[in-house]
Structure 1
Amino acid sequence: MNRKAQEANTLFQSALLQEKYQDPDGATRTYQRVLKLQPRNKLAWYNLGVIAQRGGRTAEAREAYEKALKIDPKYGSALYNEAILLKSTDTDRAVELLKRAIAATPNAATAHLQLGWVLAQKHHDDEAENEFRRAVATDPSLLSQVPEQFRDDVSPTPTSSQAGATE
């Protein structure tokens, strides 16, 4: 590893610690230093997006996620987070991003769940139901987050050990 890469890696680790210890401003400055050394560091861009998103700076978060996605168009976490930012304001773009996130990580249960919510919001109930079903099949604990009108249709079938159980 060359000196520049080593320095960038050390800075990146420092930024992660700054985030852990609730210093988003310090972490932001440190990620920016990483990006001066490695402008194509998708993780630094992504983490800047997360910090901005947590701080309510939506435009800044979107810009950082977009930069991460220019580096890696299949970066599932950036696709997902940008979709969450857009789900109430640009549902078409949110659907596109969530579908790309799912293509990159097919078992991403929360991405299926969020896609279901956006599709339900757009009144695409059949598609929404399919996404809710995939979410719950992958992670049954998500059933409680499925809208009431879809719950019975997407509930996992009880296994034989559960079928005979009584309360």
Structure 2
Amino acid sequence: MSMRQIFGSLACGAVLLTGVAACSDEPAEKPQASSSSSSDKANGGTDTGAAAADLLNLGVEQGQAGKFDEAKGTFEKVLAAETNNKFAWFNLGFIAQSRNQADEAVTNYDKALETDANYKPALYNKAIALEGKDPKASMDIYRKVVSIDDKSSTAYLRLGILLSQAGDEAEARDAFNTAVRLDKGLASAVPAKYRASTSPSPADR
């Protein structure tokens, strides 16, 4: 069984390692290929890509075990070998976010996004981190997430909540309707004033 490259994801749930998956996919991509190749090894070079992948898997194991300090150090070693490894940056962002270090989390997610501007887990978690500080920016990011994946039910839900708080009730209602259509289990998370229009019909139950 292959090891996932991210040990925890706000992107597919709401909280930390035990979050319930509620988005349309689970991030399980492979680490970025390094600049080294098999010919490097044949010429006596080191396979930095394989070394970084091994470190990434170690960091995942440490993170899943709750050893965040050790995991952080391991992911930093990955970045020493591969500066643009989006999975390492994402995991560092996740660790910071789980410690309520929102600014550091956003910085790390931005590093991941420099490598892959459409990397949905980093976009989603960055949006969560910005909800309280910059709700407009957060809404813009959620809109980008659903433009990348129109089945991201939790992104629609959180976008709806921010729209509601901003007083845009019509667009909020549309977002909530879409969230519940994609995942009926989210109906209970919709604010009460919007539930009548978002509750699944008897035929859908």
Residue 124 (str. 1) matches residue 124 (str. 2): no
Cα distance per residue 1:47-72 (max 9 Å; x no partner): 10000000111111010011111111
Instruction: Quote the residue 1:20 is aligned against.
Output: 64
Question: Alignment length, in residue pairs?
Answer: 161
Question: Partner amino acid for 1:39?
Answer: T
Match of 1:110 in 2: 154
Q: Deviations over 1:102-123 (max 9, x none)?
A: 1122101000000000100100
TM-score by length of 2: 0.76
Task: Give 2:200's match in structure 1, choosing from 140, 148, 156.
Answer: 156
Distance 1:81 1:105 in 2: 15
Contact 1:49 1:61 in 2 (8 A): yes
Equivalent AA in structure 2 for residue 129 of structure 1: R
What is the aligned partner in structure 2 of residue 81 from structure 1? 125
Q: Which runs of 5+ in 2 are unaligned?
A: 1-36, 39-46
SS in 1 for 2:200: coil
Amino acid at match of 2:122: A
Give 1:158 deviation, angstroms.
2.0
| 2:92 paired with 1:48 | yes
Q: Distance in 2 between matches of 1:54 and 1:18?
A: 15
Q: Which stretches of structure 1, 4 residues or more, deviate above 6 A after TM superposition? A: none
Identity %: 34
Provide the C-alpha distance between the structure 2 equivalents of 1:146 and 1:86, rounded to a whole number of angstroms. 20
Tell me, what secondary structure is at the counterpart of 2:160? helix
Of 62, 67, 70, 2:111 maps to 67
Higher relative CO (Cα under 8 Å, sequence separation at least 6) belongs to: 2
Distance 1:91 1:150 in 2: 20
Higher helix share: 1
Deviation sequence 1:32-51 (CA, Å, 0-9, x none): 00011111111110110000
Deviations 1:3-53 (A, max 9, x none): 100100000000000001110010000000001111111111011000000
2:139 matched to which residue of 1? 95
Gap runs ≥5 in structure 1? 163-167
Quote the residue 2:180 is aligned against. 136
